[in-house]
Amino acid sequence: MKERTNKRFILPVVKGKKSFWPTKPVCPVCGKRKVWEPHSMAVLSAGALLMNRREKSGGPSNKMDGYLSLEWHGAHNGGKGRDKEIGCMVYVIRDAVGGQADLYFCSTLCLRRFLNACVDELERRMAKERKALQQNAERYRCVAAPSRKH
Ligand SMILES: [Zn+2]
């Protein structure tokens, strides 16, 4: 069975009052197999519990907005590492009211493909930031060292 590959997703896949993805009971990656109860599924859960420490219990709360993100933080101020001076972020989940969200996949393979697509998106944004940094440096060089007039 041939699977879809190189699929791009509109990120974040969960935002606001929506607390799960996909919104139909079909795997969002392969689009073929079922997810949700009572079917088999791999679940990526993100969230936090607003705790009552005294009672040692907790749960979702509208006081919290949940998120799941991937970030590139380039070195700066003499720090070492690749892709210095740039930074960017990909939100997979953003402003999830209640602080919790679940993403469902038919298999670990589709979960892995989704995570790869998210990292691919981060790398696309890094490439864009890298290009913008380079163009700014070239623009600065032109302003700082204008050509001499004859
Ligand atoms: Zn699938």
Return the CA Rg of the chain.
Answer: 21
This prediction's pTM: 0.86
Q: How far is the CA of 113 from the centre of ligand 1 (A)?
A: 9
Q: How far is the CA of 126 from the centre of ligand 1 (A)?
A: 28
Q: Tell how many helices (H) and how many strands (E) occur in the chain.
A: 1, 8
Q: How far is the CA of 104 from the centre of ligand 1 (A)?
A: 9
Q: How far is the CA of 35 from the centre of ligand 1 (A)?
A: 8
Residue 7 has phi, psi (to 5 degrees) of: -75, 140
**Each residue of 87-143: pLDDT tens digit?**
999 999 999 999 999 999 999 999 999 999 999 999 999 999 999 999 988 887 777
Cα dihedral across residues 95, 126, 129, 71: positive or negative: positive
Q: How far is the CA of 33 from the centre of ligand 1 (A)?
A: 6
